[in-house]
Amino acid sequence: MRRVGTETLERDGITTKAQSDATKCVHAGEDRHGKAAPITTEIAQTSVFVLPSVEELRKLTDGSSSAFMYTRYANPTTEAAEQKIAALEGAGGCVVTASGQAATLCTILALCQAGDEIVSMLDLYGGTLSLFEKVFSRYGVTVKFVPFQELHSIEKYFTSRTRLLFLETPTNPTLRCVDLKALAEVARKHSARIVVDNTFATPILQKPLELGADVSIHSATKYLGGHSDLSAGAVACNGDMAEKIREMRKISGGALDPGASYLLIRGLKTLELRVERACKNAMQIAQALERNSKVARVLYPGLASHAAHELARRQMKDFGMMMAIEVRGGGEAAERFIDGLKLWYLAASLGGVESTVSYPVLSSHVNMPEEKLRLMDVSPATVRLSVGIEDPADLIADLEQSLARC
């Protein structure tokens, strides 16, 4: 019997040693020992499940049955993906959703209500900022945004109505990092929950729950899926929060299709391998770009020049697969650089096996006021790079040939 979210595996009364993330990627949520069964999780491609009797239906309604009834409520394929992510995050439970936005939506709906306040970093993915500003503000939930430069004095933003602290580290797109342990301690003093967007790091590199967070959120569209072929989100947490979030997913309709859940499971099996390779590539690329005269700055936590280098070394297993650069010559040079690439793709998303670049001022942070962009250290010269698993020499050569034309 596998205990989801723990470090042990029990079978026939015998407890084995803690498993590595690489093993969890392959086996968590999919134990088939002693069974005649397919080696991969089957796709329960159905919207509804039949029940054997009215008595079983009665048990479902009072919570005493674990039978499946309706895919919007739960599905065995999706459940296997949830168990795998929970094991990787060291969580008691996980809720998979139709997108990263849906994951954030269901989490906030479960943990906040009208009149509550959220203290949040300003440095967030643009979609999260929009969700906070354009949706929750309409329903009585106030979000106080804290500029990165003021995080050291974040406590002044908390009040008796603060219910949640929302963090993202490393940040999108400029790879800033925050001290999760220290900020979690501040939130706990005010009885606030701590939610962390862990998309850029993945549970392979960073485990927010071990650092004091209550909830770890992912856009599973990115690294967890890893092949640019699905849209999904995930929320890993402990205690009764998972069931509260699951209830919000059921009510709001944010369930993931079982076919996409199958793709997510497939992607998770190679997550550790992909992250390891992409991290190695990213370090080589960052070092090469730091030497390039056409690049004003390289924002990558693995470089000693990065302000959060020591924090990232302490908080993360490796320095990640994302970076940003500032191209000398401003926006026009940045656009020429992007258009001159022959191997890297221009794409709004990230985290696939292929290397991509994005242009934040026209994608993730489009139409954002100049003052906010300044506080987030984003300019028209900023280009975000998502490093894939190709040969690093080929990736560097392509970047250098395009920069040479700027």
Buried b (16+ CB within 10 A) or exposed e, 112-141: beeebbbbbbbbbbbbbbebbeeebeeeeb
Q: What contacts 89, CB < 8 A, 6 or more positions away?
A: 5, 198, 203, 207, 208, 209, 216, 236
- Separation of alpha carbons 167 and 96, rounded Å: 20
Read off the tokens for 175. 């790879």
Instruction: Give catalytic status of residue 197 as yes or no.
Output: yes
Please say whether the beta carbons of 164 and 108 come within 8 A: yes
Catalytic residue (one of 31, 70, 72, 313): 72
Q: What is the DSSP string of 217-251?
A: EEETTTTTT-SS----EEEEE-TTHHHHHHHHHHH
Instruction: Give catalytic status of residue 125 as yes or no.
Output: yes
Identify the three-state secondary structure at position 63.
coil
Catalytic residue (one of 197, 257, 318, 377): 197
Please say whether the beta carbons of 300 and 282 come within 8 A: yes
Which sign, positive or negative, has the C-alpha torsion 146, 151, 153, 159?
positive
Q: What is the DSSP letter of 257?
A: P
Short-list 380, 373, 396, 385, CA closest to 328: 380
Q: What contacts 244, CB < 8 A, 6 or more positions away?
A: 110, 111
Read off the tokens for 90. 């060291």
Catalytic residue (one of 222, 274, 294, 384): 222
Read off the tokens for 91. 């969580």
Instruction: Give catalytic status of residue 229 as yes or no.
Output: no
Peptide bond into 258 cis (omega under 30): no
- Separation of alpha carbons 267 and 206, rounded Å: 18
Instruction: Give catalytic status of residue 222 as yes or no.
Output: yes
Read off the tokens for 299. 């924002």
- Separation of alpha carbons 229 and 263, rounded Å: 8
Q: What is the DSSP string of 300-343?
A: -TTSTTSTTHHHHHHH-SS--SEEEEEETTHHHHHHHHHHT-SS
Short-list 250, 246, 218, 245, CA closest to 234: 218
- Which residues are annotated as catalytic? 72, 125, 197, 222
